[in-house]
Amino acid sequence: MIWQNWLLIMIMLSSLVPGLIIFSLGESRHGLRTSLNLFGAITKMVLVLVMILGIHQGHSFAVHLALLPGLELVLRADPLSALFVTLSSILWLFTTIYAIAYLEDSPNRSHFFGYFSLCVTVTIGIALAGNLLTFLFFFEMLTLSTYPLVVHRGTAEAMAAGRVYLIYTLSGGLLLFLGVVWLHNLVGPVDFCMGGQLAPLVESHGKTLFMIYYLLIAGVGVKAALVPLHGWLPRAMVAPAPVSALLHAVAVVKAGAFGIIRIVLDVYGLDTAGELGLLFPLMLLATVTIIYGSIYALRQDNLKHRLAFSTVSQVSYIALGISIGNPLAIMGGMVHLVHQGLMKITLFFCAGNIAETLGVHDISRMNGVGRRLPLTMAAFTLAAIGMIGLPPMAGFVSKWYLGLGALAQGQGWLIGILVLSSLLNAAYFLPILYGAWFKEQEAEWPDDSGMTGPLECHWMLVVPPIITAVISLLVGLLANSNLSPLAWVRFIVSAGYGL
Amino acid sequence: MMGLLLKNDCWLIWPFVLPLFGALLSFLFKQRPRLPGLIVALLTTLSSGVLAWKLVRHGVGRYDLGGWQPPLGISLRGDGPAVLMVLMTAVTGLAISIYAGGYFRSRIAKVEDERRHIIQERFFWPLWLLLWGALNGLFLSADIFNMYITLELVALSSVGLTVLSGKPASQVAGMRYLLVSILGSLSFLLGVGFLYKAFGSLDLATIQAALSFSPPVAMAMALISVGLLLKSALFPFHFWLPPAHANALAPVSAILSGLVVKGSWYLFFRFWLGFLPLIGDGGNAVMAALGGAAIIWGAFQAFSQQRLKMLVAYSTVAQIGYLFIIFPLTGAGAGPAASAVFYFAISHSCAKAAMFLAAGTIFLQMGHDRIRDLAGVRQLLPITSFAFALGGLSLMGLPPSGGFIAKYMYLSMAVSQDRWWLVLLIVIGSGLTAAYIFRAVSHILSPKMVHGQGQVVVAPCMEWSALALALVAILLGFIAPLPLALLGVTG
């Protein structure tokens, strides 16, 4: 049917077209810009819903465009891409609402929202990429569309952070590019499919595959912020809060983690990767990153920096789950793609609210914030508890499956890592919660906007974190229902590995 | 009559003759050279398009001017590479012509010394159209003496264009350019003489078919190569290029960087492919080494420039290197290598011309092009800023752009032939390119707001023509099979 071919393109266009129009709008056209943004975001959600229903009914969606003879750009919707697309489009809607209020009265908004839409379009492209070349294509575009957002404030600090960001991501892009070209040279275009297609080459080209693997993983590892490639992430925190939210939960870091999933599961395949001995080093790397990120998070007093290092740590759960190589652990890793996104975006929304409304950036000055901003801090608390992984929150579900998988795979020591990481998470989140709720306010807020009333600040700043926090609670509570991300992940994994 | 005009191969002469005719016309209409100039530019572009279409439909065409057969007559031959270059010149040239119209109008309106600008425009159109015709003639030439003539025409008209701006810096640069050009042409002519003596023919195909090694042939090869390398500004012969390109008028910079260097490179490529059996790997390695040096050196120089147009000019020095590192990769068949390098050439032509046009617009608006003082350009000239950034995107070889496709083809070939040092070079080169492009773009697209900048003085068509060219460079990232199919028509 023809609509199936158009659906994917429509999903891309639903943010691209508003973005391009917004670029050309004058600075003062707030109303039109806001309508376009929301129209695009909602249209995309509806289209994604249609797509998911279609996939569920067994339709397949794919679009091809020949870039070079024998080399195609392919968009294809498989269950894994549906997972990422859904996450991105839902969180994009909330981030857009949040950003509209957050940037109220600040300059350069048409610029900002133009790139914002571009960035989401590209992320959707990454999610829908049906082969390695398409993934590379959009992955590189992501660098370019996020750079203007990182430097949006235009301060010397922002420009410096932008430079660091570019150096890291463009170098990573070059490594990825080289890896892709090399792999193409070996086997021709590489389609994503469960189990990969490299098994016949293990005997003859083992060493080459080994090197290509590290090129690819280093390429995506920069964006996934694997230690030691994470240096750009804390510095990029100078960007406005919605951008941090986007970077951490929707686009960049997620794209990197998603890339790891694709490369290990769909390019190499678990068996091939295991045979080549590629999983254990990734597991070690992920473990180191988890612990390193947590320890560094403990040492930050700036709230956004603490959250940034927390991302470094949390995103590596995804890589960890994949590298354990057991269906249960893969479920844990994949579902954390969604869970971490929901929780982390809530935390960044809240951090943005605290900074915007009170001018508070440091944790040491957050005492008593809970009384001043109860709704924001409630959302923050839910998300933080989820991050720590207390049952029945979303983070617990991820860790539970990671643990089960590790045990089934005979890697019991990983349970120790998970527990240690949870303790560290608790160590850097609980003091914030304790200070905010139970300590007395010590000094005047540095820059109190003075908004009171039923809502503590603009409703568009308060509602998104509350909704995402509630969703992150629900996906944990209702993990066993048919509509939860966990159920969808079970569907993905059981198709490939038979649970 | 019409039947004769439309006869298949007759179409070969129009992209060559029309601009020459236009040059004459715009010189005669010296009060209003712009109108005939623009009309002829449009017609030339159309005829180039028709030529490409004819090539795809009917295969390679050959036309002997005046019906004289070789070796006496001048004959034109339109095969895939030639027509692709003609088409590239047409697309870039049309955008530059439209830009030039607005450029001179804005300058005449803006600056007090109006008469100087009127005279500049009066000479710009004839020279530019002459250059266009000569370039098309160069691409379509089948015999080597004809190549010499067109090469000389290209050189003289581009020197004339270089010195048009009247600034002392451009006079000095133009003089140096003239000397280098004449030296190069002479060397080429001597080589042609040797070849004619050795083979008794001027037809390149005939010569290449009969080629065998002898001292005169070696001499000819050396002379022709050195002459063309001088004109192509391959490192270390690049010294004349940056001041000449950077100090010229904006449309002229775009013409020189986007088109003119491709002319002598194109001849070099055709000669060199023919000579390959005699030269072997040593010569190819030398070319690649020089190309590599150009890439690294040009990028470092570009990065350390303070002026935008100098940065773009040094970027040309670096990018020319890519046109020459292809030679070691011709080992596994010239076809794929030709695809890669020609795709690189056409992408670079559009992207670089767009960047020079944008830089010229910025210069005209701001009155300077100091990179560190360019914050605020984005507010005043959003379209121009995007055009510059998009051109840079293609130069960096990031998707989606023609540069990405070309880089993919280069890397793919280097990997498949196990040329790991070339792989390394391309990867490092991309990184360096990104460094200098972002140095400029981060200022041009700077989010800093600057207040009280005054009115926009540049004509809208200047902004849009640069953007259109940049968008062509982006579009080349999606339609690669089409130009490559055109390129593949040979025989």
DSSP letters of B113-132? -HHHHHHHHHHHHHHHHHHH
CA distance A495 to B7: 63
Residue by residue, pLDDT tens for chain A (499 residues) are: 566 778 888 999 998 999 888 888 877 788 888 888 889 889 999 999 998 888 888 888 888 888 888 888 999 888 899 999 999 999 999 999 999 888 887 778 888 888 989 999 999 999 999 899 999 999 999 998 999 898 888 888 888 899 999 999 999 999 999 999 999 988 888 888 888 888 888 888 888 899 999 999 999 999 988 888 888 888 888 888 888 888 888 889 999 999 999 999 999 988 888 888 889 999 999 999 999 999 999 998 888 889 999 989 999 999 999 999 888 999 999 999 999 999 999 999 999 988 888 888 888 888 888 888 888 999 999 999 999 988 888 889 999 999 999 999 888 889 999 999 999 999 999 999 998 888 888 777 777 766 666 677 778 888 899 999 999 899 888 888 888 888 888 888 888 776 6
Distances (CA, A) of B464 to A238, B95, B98, B386, B469: 34, 9, 9, 10, 9
A171 chain-B contacts, CB cut-off 8 A: 431
DSSP-H helix ranges across B304-401: 308-324, 334-366, 377-380, 382-396
**Confidence check: pLDDT of B2 > 50:** no
Residue of chain A minimizing CA distance to B445: A148
Contact between B398 and A136 using a beta-carbon 8 Å cutoff: no
Residues in chain A within 8 Å Cβ distance of B378: 111
Radius of gyration of chain A (CA): 21
Q: What percent of chain B has pLDDT over 70?
A: 96
Number of C-alpha atoms within 13 angstroms, CB side, residue A442?
A: 9
pLDDT of amino acid B468: 95
Say yes or no for a CB contact (<8 Å) between B398 and A108. Answer: no
Q: Which residues contact A172 (CB under 8 A, 6 or more apart)?
A: A218, A219, A220, A221, A222, A223, A229
- Whose tokens are 């993934």? That residue is A135
CA distance B355 to chain A (A): 18
DSSP for A222-278, written as a single string? HHHT-TTS-THHHHGGGS-HHHHHIIIIISHHHHHHHHHHIIIIIII-HHHHHHTT-
Strands B61-64 and A71-77: unpaired
Name the domain count of chain B: 1
Report CB contact under 8 Å: B423, A137.
Answer: no
Tell me the backbone φ, ψ of residue A177, rounded to 5 degrees. Answer: -55, -50
Q: Which of B399, B412, B481 is the closest to A181 by Cβ?
A: B412
- Asked if residues A73 and A65 have their Cβ atoms less than 8 Å apart, the reply is yes
Any idea which residue has 């839902």 for tokens?
A: A90
CB B343 within 8 A of CB B397: no
A344-358, B309-323, B446-460: the lowest-pLDDT one: B446-460
Q: How confident is the model at residue B111 (pLDDT cuts 50, 70, 90)?
A: low
Contact (CB, 8 A) for B480 and B473 = no
Output the pLDDT for position B70. 63
Confidence grade of residue B1 (pLDDT, cut at 50, 70, 90):
very low
Report how far residue A204's alpha carbon sits from residue B71's, in angstroms, rounded to the nearest whole number. Answer: 56
pLDDT band at residue B402 using 50, 70 and 90 as cut-offs = very high
Residue B409: its chain A contacts at CB < 8 A? 68
pLDDT for the residue numbered B313: 94
Q: Which residues contact residue A124 at a Cβ distance below 8 angstroms, ignoring those fewer than 6 apart?
A: A11, A12, A15, A44, A85, A88, A89
Check if the beta carbon of residue B246 is closer than 8 Å to that of residue B169.
no
Cα–Cα dist B480/B81, whole Å: 15
Residues in contact with A323: Cβ distance below 8 Å, sequence separation at least 6, in sequence order: A264, A279, A280, A282, A283, A286
Interface of B with A (CB under 8 A): 378, 382, 393, 398-400, 404-405, 407-409, 411-412, 415-416, 423, 427, 430-431, 434, 438, 442, 445-449, 477-478, 480-481, 484
Q: Which residues contact A435 (CB under 8 A, 6 or more apart)?
A: A363, A366, A367, A368, A369
Report the SS3 class of residue A445.
coil
Q: Kindly indicate the confidence band of residue B10, based on its pLDDT and cuts at 50, 70 and 90.
A: confident
Chain A residues with CB under 8 Å of B398 CB are 140-141, 143-144, 173
Rounded Cα gap, residues A194 and A81, in angstroms = 12
Which of B382, B448, B480 is the closest to A67 by Cβ? B480
Phi, psi of B75 (to 5 degrees): -120, 145
Q: Rounded CA gap, A340 and B379, in Å?
A: 38
Q: Which of A320, A383, A291 is nearest to A346 (CA)?
A: A383
Give the residue from A335, A325, A321 showing the smallest Cα distance to A496. Answer: A325
Between helix A303-324 and helix A202-224 the angle, nearest 10°, is 160
Residue in B423, B431, B480 nearest the CB of A170: B431
Q: What angle do CA A381, A387, A388 make, to 5 degrees?
A: 90
- Residue among B344, B378, B415, B420 with most chain A CBs within 10 A, to mutate: B415
Reported residue count of chain B is 491
Nearest to A153 among B399, B407, B447 (CB): B447
- Residue A245: predicted pLDDT: 86
Cα atoms in the 13 Å half-sphere on the side-chain side of A105: 1
Residue among B378, B398, B448 whose CB faces A140 most closely: B398
* Residue B413 near residue B329, CB atoms below 8 Å: yes
DSSP state letter for A373:
S
In terms of CA atoms, which chain A residue is nearest residue B482?
A68
Structure tokens of B87?
């088409």
- Nearest-angstrom CA–CA distance, B464 and B95: 9
Q: A215 phi and psi, to 5 degrees? A: -60, -45
pLDDT at A179: 94
Torsion of CA A449, A452, A456, A457, to 10 degrees: -50
* A452 secondary structure, DSSP code: -
Domain extent at residue B13: 2-487
Write the residue in A69, A71, A181 that is nearest to B415 by C-beta: A181
Is residue A361 within 8 Å of A303, Cβ to Cβ? yes
Q: CB burial class (10 A; 0-12, 13-18, 19+) of residue B378? A: buried
- E-strand ranges in B438-485 read none
Token digits of residue B214? 């002898």
Q: How far is A67 from chain B (nearest CA, A)?
A: 6
* DSSP 8-state code for residue B307: B
Residue type, A136: L
Query: Under an 8 A CB cutoff, do B398 and A144 touch?
Result: yes
Question: What string of DSSP letters covers B475-488?
Answer: HTTT-THHHHHHHT
A191: β partners: A131
The whole-angstrom separation of Cα B99 and Cα A58 is: 53
Min distance B398 CA to chain A CA atoms (Å): 7
Residues on chain A touching B405 (C-beta within 8 angstroms): 67-68
Both tokens of B143, joined, read: 């015999």
DSSP state of B324: H
CB within 8 A of A311, min separation 6: which ones? A225, A233, A248, A253, A293, A340, A344
Backbone region of residue A445 per phi and psi (left: phi > 0; alpha: psi in -120 to 50; beta: other values): beta
Of A303, A295, A465, which is closest to residue A382 (Cα–Cα)? A465
Which of B378, B427, B449 is opposite residue A178, by nearest beta carbon? Answer: B427
Contact A333, A321 (CB under 8 A): yes
Please report which confidence band the pLDDT of residue B112 belongs to, taking 50, 70 and 90 as the band edges. Answer: low
* Tokens 């083809």, residue located: B409
Instruction: Measure B487 CA to nearest chain A CA, in Å.
Output: 13
Cα nearest neighbour of B441 on chain A: A148
Q: Å from A174 to nearest chain B CA?
A: 7
Q: What pLDDT, on a 0 to 100 scale, did the predictor assign at position B33?
A: 87
Test mutation, A9, A67, A131, A145, chain B, max B CBs within 10 A: A67
pLDDT given for residue A320 in this prediction = 93
Closest residue, chain A, to B416 (C-alpha): A185
pLDDT greater than 60 at residue B8 = no
Residue-wise pLDDT for B128-187, tens only, equals 999 999 999 999 988 888 899 999 999 999 999 999 988 888 899 999 999 999 999 999
Q: How many Å is the Cα radius of gyration of chain B?
A: 21
CA B237 to chain CA mean position, Å: 17
Mean pLDDT along residues B226-240: 91
